Structure 1
Amino acid sequence: MKAVLPVSQREITRILNKPLSLEDREEVIGFTIDGETSKDLDDAIWVEPNQAKANISVHISDVSAFIEPGSNLERNALSQVETRYLATKNDPMFPHELSEDRLSLLEAQRRLTITVRITIDALGDIEKVSLHRTHLVNLKKFSYTSADATLKDASSPFFCELRYCEAWAQKLAWKRKDVGAIGLSRLGGISLDEEGRILSTPLYHSQQIIQEFMILANMAVASLAEQQQVPLLYRNHLASDIAPKSKELIQTLNVLGLPELVRQKLQSWLKPATYSPAVMGHFALALPAYTHFTSPIRRVADYVNHHIVKAVLIDKTESPYTIDELQDIASHINEKRSQIKERREEHFREKRLNQTIKVLQEKSQIKTLSDQEFSQILKDSIKVSQLDKLVPEALWRIEEKTIKLVDLYYLIFGEYNKYENKQLLTSKILDYLSENPVHATQIVQMAGSINQTTVEYIEKKTASGKFAFWSILEGETTATPGIAANKQTAKHQGNMLLIESIFDQSLIPPQLINEDYLQDMVETEVREESKAIKEVVSEPEIEELELSGVPEAAKLNPVGYLHEIGQRLKRKKPQYVYHQVGLQWQCCCRIEWLGENIVETLAINSSKKEAKNMASLKAISLLEEDMIE
C-alpha cells in the first residue's frame, strides 16, 4: 500500500466547489431509509410497477465522481478501510465535510448517483440488470422508526410506495430461503445477519426492506462482472469442511433453537467472509457470486468497485486497478478488518468484565439485571472467579423458573470458591432438571458445542426391553445408565446422570465399562427400580403431614433444608423414588447410614415437586428429633 499523506483542506474545498456535471446523466427519484442518527446516506431506493413484474432501482452515491484513484483521499480511505461508528461519534472513511454533505444523499438535495436497475418477475427471479449514470433528488429521508410508522399509517405520504417495496422485499426473502440461504433470515426464532452471525437486536421492517434491496443490487453487480470476467473485490464466504449441506444445516439450527448452541455451531461451520478478485461464492447467502457495491461512503471495497464498474461496465474502458493491485487491496482490507474486529472484541470484553466486577460489588444491582444481562454477567463472573456472588440470584431464578438454559450451563461447569454454594446449586439444579429432563439433554449438547466436541452415547437394551443410555462428554461417562421404556426418556435420564456426575466428580472413562458390566448394570438397575416401585405401592397408608415441629425455614424450602441437615449429620444425601398412582405422584424419601435406611417417608400429591416437598418435610421432622436427642 502507498504511504498515507494528510488530506489538505484545499483538496476538500476543491471537491465541495466542484460543479455537478449532469451531462449524460438520467434524472431519477427515490428515498433513503437509515438509522436515526445516520448522516452519511449511501443509497436510495425506488420501485416501479410493471404488470406482474417490478423494476427495482437502487441509487448509490457516485463517490468515484469526486475521489480519484491515487489521491490522498483514496490513500486515507484504503488505510482506514471503513467508517467506524463509536458510542458518541463516528470516525469517517472520508472527511465529515464530504461524507455528510457533498457525497451524502441528503433530502431535497441533488446528488450524483450510480443506479442499479433490476427487473424481477413475480417469483423474485432476475430478468434484467442495467447500470446507469444518474442524478437523484432524495424525496424523503426516512429513519427506520419513521418508515415503520409510515408502513402502518395508510394516510401517510409514501405509504403505498413503502408497502409496495415491502411486498417485493418479502418475495426476495422467500426466494433466498427457497435456495437455502441462512444469511439475513430467522432460524429457530434467532435472527442472523448477512454472514450468518447472530443479531443481538431485532430488525425493523423497513431495515429488512433495505437489506433485501442491497443484497439484490450487490448480487446483480457481481453477476454482471462475473459474466464479463471483470475482476472486482468480490465478497466471498465459505463453509468449513465439517459443515453440512445447506438444507441439513438449516434443519439442525432450527432444532437447536438456543442462541448459544446456534452461535457455537455457526462458528465451527462457517469461515469469516473475505474480499478477493477471484469469485468463490457466498455460502450464507447461497449465491455463486457476491460483492459489496452499495456503501461507497462507508466501505473502501465498495468505493474501489465503483471505479471498476464505471470504467469497465459503463464506460467500456480499462479498469483503473490491475489484478495485482486488487489482490494487494483485498489482502490489506481483510487483514485490517480482522485487526479491527479483534480490537473491538477486546474492547467489549474489557468493558464487560469491568461492568461485571462493578455489578458483583453492588449486590443490589444483581436483582435488577434483565435475563440477557444476568447471562452475560454470569458468563463473565467465571472469568474473574466470582461466580459465588451470583448463587443467591441463580437460586431465586431457578425457583421462579426464569433461569435460561445457558445460565444453567455456566452454573454446572463453573468453579466455586465455596463448596457449600456448589452443593446448594447441585440440589436445586437437579431438582429443576428432574421436572424438565429434556433440558438436561440440551445442556449437554450445549457443552459439546461450546467445547467443540461431540456428545456420544452408549445404547443398550435390557432383557425386559427397556433402553439404557450412557452419555459420553469429552471422553468421560457415568457409572450407571439412564433407563426407561422410552428411548428418548432414557437418553434424557442418561444426561441427567452425566450432569450429576459432573457435580460430584464421579465420571469414569467409558473403557471401564465392558459388555458384561453393561448388562450387569442394566439388570441391576431394572431390579432396583422394580423393588422400589413395589415398596412404594405396598406402603399401607400415607400419614398426614404434621408440621408443628418443623422450622419455618424448612417449610419454605424443604428439599434444600433437608440437604443441609444431612450435611450437618454427615449422612448421605436423600434418595427420592417416584411412582405414579392414578393422576397423582407418590414420592418416597430415603436417607441411608451405614447401608441401612434410617429415615423413610412417603407422600402423595398431584405434582412430583409437591410430593417431594411433603416427603422431605416428614423426613425433616424425624431428623429434627434425631438432632435434639
Structure 2
Amino acid sequence: MATSPNSTKTASKVWFQAIAQAEALTLPDILWQRPQVQGITIDGPTSQDLDDAIYLEATPTGAIASIHIADVAELVTVGSTLDKVALARTQTRYLSRGNIPMLPHALSEDKLSLLEGQPRPTLTIRVTLNHQAEIQTTEIFESWIISAKRFSYEEADRVCQSPVHPFSELLQLCQTWAERLNQERRNQGAIGGLFNASGFWIDENGVATIPDGKLFHAQMIIQEFMILANRAVAHWFAERDVLALYRNHTARTIAPEREQIMQALLTTGSMELIRQKLQNWLNKAEYNPTLIGHFALNLTAYCHCTSPIRRLADLLNHRIIKALLHEQPHPYRKVELEQLCTYIATLTQEDDTETKEFYKERSQRSYQKQIEGTEATAALVALSDKEFGHIVKHAAKEDNFEPIQAAAMMRLEQEQLSIQSLSLMLIHSGDLTLQHRILAVLQQCPEDATSVLVLSIDQEPSWEQLDYVEAGQDMPPFLFWVEVSRAGQITTTRSPAQSQRKQTARHLACLNWLKAFVSDELVSPAQRQRPKLPAISTSQPETTEPAQIPDLAVHPTLSSPLEDGQNFVGLLQELSQSLGWPLPAYQFTGASPEFVCTCTVVVQGQSFSGKGITAQKKQAKHIAAKATLIQLQSWFQSGERVEIEQPELSATDTVEAQETQAAQATVSVSHPLLQKQLKDGQKFIGFLQQLCQTLGWDLPAYEFVGETPEFICTCTVWAEGKRFSGEATSSQKKKAKYFAAKVVLLELQQYFQGDSGMA
C-alpha cells in the first residue's frame, strides 16, 4: 500500500509530476462506445469539481433515479503518480478562497469534471423506486454523459418556480421525489441527514450543526439522491458479499433507544445540548471492509461512492465496482483495505485537529479584540446571545471572566443570556457577585435552574448523571433532593426542596444544588436532613397557627394591599403558579340577576374560599378572587381567617346586568384578531392578551409542566362563559407558551367565525 511522502520536498516533486501527467492525459475514443446517459448537475455557485449528475424518469409504478458519477478510476489507475497524490491527500480541502485538491485541477476541474456541454466518462447507478420511494432494483454500469445544464442551488430553485423553463418539469419531479425519499428515511427511523424541530442540521454522521446562509430546496434534491446512490451501492456490494470500504456508524453502549434519541432531538432546543448528547451517545463514523451498518441513517449497509474526484474512499470503491463489472480480480486484499481505512482515519483526525486549532487561534484573536478598549462593555452588551455566548466560552477557557463581568451583569438585567452562558459563568467564573446574581435570576424561573444543571452535567467531564431523590410522600408538600456525581463522589444538599407540585419541587431541588455548589455547602447523601413537616389541623382553623412556610409571605401578592381596579383573578392565578399550588377553582350557581361565584384554593391541605355575588358572572368571579386573596393574606400574615361581607345588589346593577345580557344575546363577538390569518413569527401571546383585554374576557392563564428537554404549556381562556384551551410542547418554555397561545387563538377564531359562534 502506498503511504504519504516522507518530506515536503518529495511531496512537491510527486505533485508536480502528477500535474504533468494530468495535463498530458486524453480521454480515449473507446469511452464513447459506452451507453450515453442524460443528466444535469446542481452544485454551489463557485464549484468547478462537478463529480455527479442526476436524472429522473416517472414510471407507472414509481420512478427511476439515475445518478451519474465521474469515472475517475478509469484514468487514475492503481500505482500511478496520480494514485500516489490521491493517497497522500485522501480528500480535497476547501478553504475560504479556493481549495487544495486531491487531484490536479487539470483532472478535478476539467477533464473529469462533468462540465456542461462536455463529453465525460461516468459510472451510472440506476435505482428503481416504488411509489413509497423504496428501492426495488439497482443497476450499475459504465456510461458517458454530456451534461445538459449546470445549475447552482439558487438557479435550480428559481427554475422550479418557472413553468416555461425547459428544465422546470425535471427539477419539479426531482424535488417531489427528494421529499419522498426524505420522508421514507424519516419513517424508517433515520436521525442523520435531517433537520430537527429547532432547525439544527444533523448530518449523516450524527453531528449537529447550524447551516450557514440560505437553504435551497435543490440542496435536498442532491442530498437525497446522493444518499440513495450510496445506500444502493452498499447493498449491491453486500448482496455479492464483496469487500468494500463501507461507511459504518454505531451508537455507544450508554445510548438510549433510537425512539428516545429521536424524541430528544425533537424536543431539545439548545444547540449545545443537542451536540453534547449526540457526542455522548454516538461513535464517530468510520470506514471498514467489514459491514456493520449505519446507525444515524438507520441502514444495514452504507458506503461513499458519489465523490471520487475529491474523496479517496469513493475512488477506491469505484475501482472495486469496475473490477466486478469486468469480472476481474478484486483490486485489494482485506488487510490492504483495513490499512487504508486506518490511514484515512488518521489523516482525517490530523486535519480536524489542525482545523480546530486554526479556528481556535482566530477566535482567540477576535476575543481579545472585543474585550479590549474603553467601549468594550457597551460593545459586548450589544452582541447577540449567540455572539456573546462565544465570548463566555473563551472566558471559561481562559479562566478569566473579569473582562466581561460588567457586560454579563447588564445582560442579566436585560435577560439576554443563554442557558449555556449562565451555566459556564455559574460553574466557572468564581465571581460570587456574578454567581449570586445568576442564582437570583434562576430563583425567579426555577425551571431554568434545571436546564443549567443538566447542561453543566453534560459539559463537565467529571460530572455525571443527575438523579432525583424523593422523600416518599404521597401527599403535598413534596420533598426532593438532587444528586450529582462529581469526580466519582455523590453530592447533594443538606435540606430538600419543597413544593405543592412534584415538578416544581424538582426544579427547586436543582436550584438548591446550584446554590450549595456556589457556597461550597454540598454534602454526601448520608448527611441529608429531612425536615419535620408542619401538621395541618382540619378543625378550628381560626385558632390554628399559620403553616410554617417561611418563603410564602414574602410573595408580593401576599403582602401588598389590594386595590380596586386590580386584576384579582390574574393575581390569584399568578400566585398559585409561582408557589406551586393547584390552580384556583371557580364554581358558579344562581342566575341573573344574582350570580354566585365561589373561588377555592387548596394550600397544604387547607381550603381557602371566597364568594362573589353580582348580576354579572365576570364581576362575581372578580369579587370571589379578591375575597380569596384577602383570606390568604390574613392567613399567611397573622394565622387568622376573615369573613368577607358581600355587597347587596342595587336595582341599577340589576337593570344594567339585564341590559348587558340582552346585548350579548343579540350582538355577535367581533374583533379583527378573530379574522386575522395567523402565521408563525407573529406575536400570538400579545394577540391573545389584547383580544381578552379588548373584549373584557379574563386574561389568559398559562400552566407549565415538564422539564428540560420537554416543557408542556397549557393556555386557558374563558370567553363568553366557554372555556378555550390549547396545549403545546417545546424544549423552551417561551416557545411552548407561544404555540399554546396560537392554538387558543385558532380555537377562538373557529368558534366565533363558525356555526357554533354566538349569534
The letter for the 1-side match of 2:122 is T
Aligned to 1:591: none
Following superposition, the deviation at residue 466 of structure 1 comes to 1.8
Compute the RMSD of aligned alpha carbons: 3.0
Aligned to 2:514: 499
Distance in 1 (CA, whole Å) between partners of 2:290 and 2:53 is 29
Per-residue deviation, residues 128-187 of structure 1 (Å, max 9, x unmatched): 100121111112222222223333444444222222111111111111111211111123
Distance in 2 (CA, whole Å) between partners of 1:185 and 1:438 is 29
* Greater Rg over alpha carbons, structure: 2
Aligned to 2:202: 192
Q: 1:303 aligns with which of 296, 315, 319?
A: 315
Structure 1 residues 439 and 317: alpha-carbon distance in aligned structure 2, compared to 1, 3 A threshold: same
Aligned to 1:426: 436
The answer to whether the Cα contact below 8 Å between 1:395 and 1:425 also exists between their aligned partners in 2 is: no
Aligned to 2:494: 479
Per-residue deviation, residues 282-307 of structure 1 (Å, max 9, x unmatched): 11111111110000001000001111
Q: 1:528 aligns with which of 545, 548, 555?
A: 548
Q: Residue 315 in 1 paired to residue 326 in 2?
A: yes
Q: 1:458 aligns with which of 454, 459, 469?
A: 469
Following superposition, the deviation at residue 23 of structure 1 comes to 4.3
Aligned to 2:65: 56
- Give the SS at the match of 1:529: coil
Aligned to 1:602: none
Distance in 1 (CA, whole Å) between partners of 2:506 and 2:259 is 26
Distance in 2 (CA, whole Å) between partners of 1:424 and 1:53 is 62
- Give the SS at the match of 2:549: helix
The answer to whether the Cα contact below 8 Å between 2:247 and 2:294 also exists between their aligned partners in 1 is: yes
Please show how residues 390-405 of structure 1 align to structure 2 within 5 Å.
Answer: 390-405=404-419
Aligned to 2:396: 382
Aligned to 2:37: 28
Following superposition, the deviation at residue 450 of structure 1 comes to 1.6
Aligned to 2:295: 283
The answer to whether the Cα contact below 8 Å between 1:481 and 1:522 also exists between their aligned partners in 2 is: no
Q: Residue 11 in 1 paired to residue 21 in 2?
A: yes
The answer to whether the Cα contact below 8 Å between 1:54 and 1:121 also exists between their aligned partners in 2 is: yes
Q: 1:343 aligns with which of 334, 354, 358?
A: 354
Q: 2:189 aligns with which of 180, 199, 221?
A: 180
Per-residue deviation, residues 48-92 of structure 1 (Å, max 9, x unmatched): 111240100101000011111111111111111111111222100
Q: Residue 415 in 1 paired to residue 424 in 2?
A: no
The letter for the 2-side match of 1:89 is G
Following superposition, the deviation at residue 108 of structure 1 comes to 1.6
Distance in 1 (CA, whole Å) between partners of 2:222 and 2:77 is 28
Distance in 2 (CA, whole Å) between partners of 1:539 and 1:92 is 72
Structure 1 residues 434 and 60: alpha-carbon distance in aligned structure 2, compared to 1, 3 A threshold: same
Following superposition, the deviation at residue 35 of structure 1 comes to 1.7
Gaps of 5+ in 1: 545-578, 589-605, 608-629
Distance in 1 (CA, whole Å) between partners of 2:263 and 2:231 is 25
The letter for the 2-side match of 1:508 is V
Aligned to 2:143: 134
Gaps of 5+ in 2: 537-545, 565-607, 610-623, 634-698, 701-759
Distance in 1 (CA, whole Å) between partners of 2:269 and 2:121 is 46
| TM-score normalised according to structure 2 size | 0.67
Q: Residue 293 in 1 paired to residue 305 in 2?
A: yes
Following superposition, the deviation at residue 378 of structure 1 comes to 1.0
Distance in 2 (CA, whole Å) between partners of 1:241 and 1:152 is 47
Q: Residue 71 in 1 paired to residue 86 in 2?
A: no
Structure 1 residues 464 and 98: alpha-carbon distance in aligned structure 2, compared to 1, 3 A threshold: closer
Aligned to 2:264: 252
Structure 1 residues 56 and 307: alpha-carbon distance in aligned structure 2, compared to 1, 3 A threshold: same
Aligned to 1:114: 123
The letter for the 2-side match of 1:483 is Q
Please show how residues 86-235 of structure 1 align to structure 2 within 5 Å.
Answer: 86-189=95-198, 190-201=200-211, 203-235=215-247
The letter for the 2-side match of 1:400 is Q
Distance in 1 (CA, whole Å) between partners of 2:558 and 2:413 is 33
Per-residue deviation, residues 499-520 of structure 1 (Å, max 9, x unmatched): 222333322222211xxx3243
Aligned to 2:370: 359
Q: Residue 443 in 1 paired to residue 452 in 2?
A: yes
Distance in 1 (CA, whole Å) between partners of 2:251 and 2:554 is 56
- Give the SS at the match of 2:149: strand
The answer to whether the Cα contact below 8 Å between 1:183 and 1:195 also exists between their aligned partners in 2 is: yes
Aligned to 2:283: 271
Per-residue deviation, residues 334-384 of structure 1 (Å, max 9, x unmatched): 111112112212222222222212211141542443322211111111112
Following superposition, the deviation at residue 278 of structure 1 comes to 0.9
Following superposition, the deviation at residue 484 of structure 1 comes to 1.2
Per-residue deviation, residues 311-347 of structure 1 (Å, max 9, x unmatched): 11x2222122222222221111111111211221222
Distance in 2 (CA, whole Å) between partners of 1:327 and 1:100 is 30
Per-residue deviation, residues 230-288 of structure 1 (Å, max 9, x unmatched): 11111111111111221122123323332111111111111111111110111111111
Distance in 2 (CA, whole Å) between partners of 1:534 and 1:30 is 73
Distance in 2 (CA, whole Å) between partners of 1:463 and 1:212 is 52
Distance in 1 (CA, whole Å) between partners of 2:554 and 2:263 is 44
Distance in 1 (CA, whole Å) between partners of 2:483 and 2:629 is 31
Distance in 2 (CA, whole Å) between partners of 1:157 and 1:585 is 72
- Give the SS at the match of 2:339: helix
- Structure 1 window deviating more from structure 2 (299-308 vs 402-411): it is 402-411
Distance in 1 (CA, whole Å) between partners of 2:364 and 2:384 is 17
Structure 1 residues 523 and 438: alpha-carbon distance in aligned structure 2, compared to 1, 3 A threshold: farther
Sequence identity (%): 33
- Give the SS at the match of 1:105: coil
Structure 1 residues 542 and 100: alpha-carbon distance in aligned structure 2, compared to 1, 3 A threshold: same
- Give the SS at the match of 1:56: strand
The answer to whether the Cα contact below 8 Å between 2:534 and 2:548 also exists between their aligned partners in 1 is: no
Distance in 1 (CA, whole Å) between partners of 2:455 and 2:286 is 29
Structure 1 residues 509 and 304: alpha-carbon distance in aligned structure 2, compared to 1, 3 A threshold: same
The letter for the 2-side match of 1:361 is E
Aligned to 2:686: none
The letter for the 1-side match of 2:232 is A
**Matched residue count:** 545
Structure 1 residues 82 and 536: alpha-carbon distance in aligned structure 2, compared to 1, 3 A threshold: closer
Distance in 2 (CA, whole Å) between partners of 1:463 and 1:539 is 31
- Give the SS at the match of 2:308: coil
Distance in 2 (CA, whole Å) between partners of 1:531 and 1:197 is 45
Structure 1 residues 153 and 445: alpha-carbon distance in aligned structure 2, compared to 1, 3 A threshold: farther
Structure 1 residues 540 and 278: alpha-carbon distance in aligned structure 2, compared to 1, 3 A threshold: closer
The letter for the 2-side match of 1:342 is T
